Chain A
Amino acid sequence: MVILLYILFGISLVYIAATEKFSNYIRVYTLQGFLLFGMALAERESFSYVNLALILAETIIFKSVIVPWLLRRILQGTGIRNVHKRSLAGNYTVMIMILALGISLLLARMLAIHTADSTFLVIAFFTLFTGLVLISARKLIFGHLVGFLIIENSVFLFSIAIGKEFPLLVNAGILLDIFIAVLIMSIFMTRIGHRTGGFEAESLTKLTD
């Protein structure tokens, strides 16, 4: 069962890197929230109610409900629909994603930790690389924000992969991180969108020497 979740998560990463529509980003991100919840449930050996509540908040409430709602509001406010500008062409992005998957497999094999599930490590590394690819391959800052959110998913995966018994504090940290990402970035993105009439990263290049 859990292997199905891994595969679905991996496919969602490739899809998010290749898709042209921002609304698809939001759908995939919503799906990833549910998948992460499923993976966390499957991996944890024991649960306290507090722990379960935190994981539920991190995944379903934040990642699948609040963040997608905020992202939709940003898109509605500015009317942008498609990734019409890329730093990298779509086929190059897919090739880089394949390379990233290969590197993730290699890293997970090389860095096998006795306390960690290696399949989980592969997915965690692959998610991290996907986030970095999204940030560097997209010219609109909306794509950068989605890239950051994907990196946050990789942080969550690492916390499950290598710390089945990590204290509550770790979860609290992740929750805070997501909160800041959502709150601050949506505020500033909306302002940038209104000021510049779009989300072009190139419009944010005034600060030079």
Chain B
Amino acid sequence: MLAGYFITGIVFAGLIFIVRDRRVCLAINLAFVIVQASLAVYAFSARGNTELNYFTFDSLSVIFLMVMAILSAAVFYHSIVYVREDDDWKRKLFFFSFIMLNLSLTGVYTANNIIVSWIFIELTTLSAAGLINHNRSMSSLEATWKYVFICSVGIALAYIGILFASAASGVGKTGDMSYDGLRTAFENTDPIYLKIAFILILTGYSSKLEVFPLYTIGVDANYVAPAPVSAFLSTALVNGGFIVFFRVYETMAASAIAGWINNVLVLTGMISLLAAAIYMQKASNLKRVFAYSTVEHMGLVLIALSFGKPGIYIALIQVTVHSFVKSGLFIHAGILHRVLRSYKLSKAAGYMALNPAGALILIIGVLLITAIPPSGLFVSEFMLFREMGSDHWLLFLAVATLLTLIFYGIFNKSLHVISGEPAVSYNRQHKVMRTDYISQYILFGLAVAACLYIPEFINGLFADVSGTGPMSISILNMK
């Protein structure tokens, strides 16, 4: 199936360049979105199967393939509007890059070998570059250059870390670079080598995970990319970064450096939260505010991971729900831009008066992303604070303080856009249809559902990855 998926994807991507008719081009992309969704369904039914030697449909990959299938459909729908007025070449490059990014991310999600993961994460840089530079402006060129350059340097560092750890553990001799093989090998490896490798890998992959130290390129990319692309980059691509990092974390968590890793994760998570809290206050652009919110959530995910099995469970909920809310927010930012013609806070204001239906969605999205109930993020953040409990009261206090600052930043900026006095007069005629809001209601609905009820089969996947038993995470029976 996976071979068929990759071949189909590559053929579809190639066809996009051959066909001339715009509608055929869109039909090919729609067909790919259906193939992507079919793969997610198949992956669930074939859970545990390994295909093409290097790809396994484990619970982790199944969760994120399902999430990506939903995101791809929503992003594709809104991309149709976005590229409507583009010339042929730009539109073709857009959909080609979109399909290639989906293919690369599928490889990242399912790879069971550290080198294969690395190869596919490198491919995501290549395909994302085509999407980030879609507008061909000086800003998008700058963001794309920085993204490609810093990602490449970061990923090269991660590769050195991988080679270093592999050689120190002796797997270089056996050639078994699978995560299972590494986990066994790392148990008896000298901690100093693993520590160096972990730092290099965390630094390298932070460019994809959007956490300290290389988070800035992700923020810039989300800022300049078309809104539907930002929706995909800040969710599906960040999830890819999470998966590659998580798999390395898992292999090392059973080794002698487990305690040290947890300290590094808390430190990195806290610095990411601090950066998000500071820069969010400074941000003068709504998309940058949303982009810094991704840094915040991924920082929380790292902190959660430091709490072992329950922490993994929390991190999975956080990443999953964040994907739904953040993609909805970015997609809506694109609609907002059609009305206000700017993302700049100095220009974008008075949204409620011009588009009340859209303003309502923005309010819902902001409430959900700040983890206000009934947001699924409330559940994960509540569980995280419960884990911190009284044993880590200093961490509890620091995280709570930074989250309050971030909460203030997002609300302050968003309320300005919703009800602020516009600096320029707007034409009240805008081309937003009611159907444009459907995807956001679905995505936000999923985030709310995660707070009230998570189906047993999804809960089972989370439990399987984290190694805990199925946990009751509904807000309705939370203690």
Judged by a CB distance under 8 angstroms, whether B166 is at the interface is yes
Residue of B nearest to A171 (CB): B115
Q: A158-B164, A209-B283 are in contact. Are A163 and B141 (CB under 8 A)?
A: no
Q: Is the CB of B284 within 8 A of A173?
A: no
Q: Is the CB of B152 within 8 A of A209?
A: no
Judged by a CB distance under 8 angstroms, whether A88 is at the interface is no
Q: Is the CB of A206 within 8 A of B138?
A: yes
Chain B residues whose C-beta falls within 8 Å of the C-beta of A66 in the assembled complex: none
Judged by a CB distance under 8 angstroms, whether A192 is at the interface is yes
Residues of B135-152 contacting chain A, CB below 8 A = 138-139, 141-146, 148-149, 152
Judged by a CB distance under 8 angstroms, whether B227 is at the interface is no
Q: Is the CB of A166 within 8 A of B175?
A: yes
Chain B residues whose C-beta falls within 8 Å of the C-beta of A172 in the assembled complex: 119
Judged by a CB distance under 8 angstroms, whether A49 is at the interface is no
Interface size on A, residues (CB 8 A): 45
Closest beta carbon of chain A to B195's beta carbon, Å: 11
Closest beta carbon of chain B to A132's beta carbon, Å: 9
Residues of A128-176 contacting chain B, CB below 8 A = 128, 135, 141, 144-145, 148, 151-152, 154-155, 158-159, 162-167, 169-170, 172-174, 176
Q: Is the CB of A111 within 8 A of B193?
A: yes
Closest beta carbon of chain B to A26's beta carbon, Å: 19
Interface size on B, residues (CB 8 A): 50
Could you say which of A111, A115, A164, A188 contacts B145, with CB atoms under 8 Å apart?
A: A188
Chain A residues whose C-beta falls within 8 Å of the C-beta of B159 in the assembled complex: 155, 173-174, 177
Judged by a CB distance under 8 angstroms, whether B106 is at the interface is no
Q: A115-B167, A135-B153, A184-B126 are in contact. Are A204 and B118 (CB under 8 A)?
A: no
Chain A residues whose C-beta falls within 8 Å of the C-beta of B118 in the assembled complex: 173
Judged by a CB distance under 8 angstroms, whether B177 is at the interface is yes
Residue of A nearest to B223 (CB): A207
Judged by a CB distance under 8 angstroms, whether B58 is at the interface is no
Residue of A nearest to B167 (CB): A162
Which of B113, B116, B125, B153 gathers the greatest number of chain A CB atoms within 10 Å? B153
Q: Is the CB of B167 within 8 A of A116?
A: yes
Residue of A nearest to B224 (CB): A207
Q: A173-B115, A184-B129, A206-B139 are in contact. Are A162 and B149 (CB under 8 A)?
A: no
Q: Is the CB of A188 within 8 A of B284?
A: no
Q: Is the CB of A184 within 8 A of B148?
A: yes
Q: Is the CB of A195 within 8 A of B141?
A: yes
Judged by a CB distance under 8 angstroms, whether A185 is at the interface is yes
Q: Is the CB of A209 within 8 A of B160?
A: no
Which of B139, B145, B152, B175 gathers the greatest number of chain A CB atoms within 10 Å? B145
Could you say which of A113, A151, A207 contacts B156, with CB atoms under 8 Å apart?
A: A151
A191 to B279, CA, bound (A): 30
Residue of A nearest to B163 (CB): A158
Q: A165-B173, A185-B149, A209-B279 are in contact. Are A180 and B163 (CB under 8 A)?
A: no
Q: Mark B169-209, 1 if CB is under 8 A from A, else 0.
A: 01011010100000000000000110010000000000000
Q: A152-B156, A177-B122, A177-B152 are in contact. Are A162 and B172 (CB under 8 A)?
A: yes
Chain A residues whose C-beta falls within 8 Å of the C-beta of B173 in the assembled complex: 115, 165
Main secondary structure of the interface of B (DSSP, over half): helix
Judged by a CB distance under 8 angstroms, whether A181 is at the interface is yes
Q: Is the CB of A204 within 8 A of B163?
A: no
Q: Is the CB of B149 within 8 A of A148?
A: yes
A163 to B170, CA, bound (A): 9
Which of A128, A162, A183, A195 gathers the greatest number of chain B CB atoms within 10 Å? A162
Judged by a CB distance under 8 angstroms, whether B168 is at the interface is yes
Residue of B nearest to A151 (CB): B156
A163 to B115, CA, bound (A): 13
Q: Is the CB of B156 within 8 A of A115?
A: no
Closest beta carbon of chain A to B477's beta carbon, Å: 42
A151 to B143, CA, bound (A): 22
Closest beta carbon of chain A to B168's beta carbon, Å: 5
Judged by a CB distance under 8 angstroms, whether B134 is at the interface is no
Could you say which of B122, B193, B284 contacts A209, with CB atoms under 8 Å apart?
A: B284
Q: Is the CB of B175 within 8 A of A167?
A: yes
A175 to B193, CA, bound (A): 25
Q: Is the CB of B122 within 8 A of A163?
A: no
Judged by a CB distance under 8 angstroms, whether B155 is at the interface is yes
Could you say which of B122, B141, B163, B283 contacts A192, with CB atoms under 8 Å apart?
A: B141
Q: A177-B159, A180-B122, A195-B138 are in contact. Are A169 and B113 (CB under 8 A)?
A: yes
Q: Is the CB of A154 within 8 A of B160?
A: yes
Closest beta carbon of chain A to B384's beta carbon, Å: 28
Chain B residues whose C-beta falls within 8 Å of the C-beta of A165 in the assembled complex: 172-173, 175
Closest beta carbon of chain A to B279's beta carbon, Å: 6
Residue of B nearest to A166 (CB): B172
A163 to B427, CA, bound (A): 64
Chain B residues whose C-beta falls within 8 Å of the C-beta of A113 in the assembled complex: 167-168, 193
Which of A116, A152, A177 gathers the greatest number of chain B CB atoms within 10 Å? A177
Closest beta carbon of chain B to A140's beta carbon, Å: 13
Which of A141, A145, A167, A192 gathers the greatest number of chain B CB atoms within 10 Å? A167
Closest beta carbon of chain B to A41's beta carbon, Å: 19
Residues of A50-94 contacting chain B, CB below 8 A = none
A151 to B153, CA, bound (A): 8
Chain B residues whose C-beta falls within 8 Å of the C-beta of A191 in the assembled complex: 141
- What would be 7 A-B contacts, judged by CB atoms less than 8 Å apart? A135-B153, A141-B145, A173-B122, A177-B159, A192-B141, A207-B146, A207-B223
The 4 tightest CB contacts between A and B, nearest first, are: A162-B167, A163-B172, A209-B282, A167-B175
Knowing that A184-B129, A185-B152 touch, tell me 11 more A-B residue pairs with CB under 8 angstroms: A148-B153, A166-B175, A167-B175, A169-B113, A169-B116, A169-B177, A170-B163, A170-B177, A174-B159, A176-B123, A180-B122
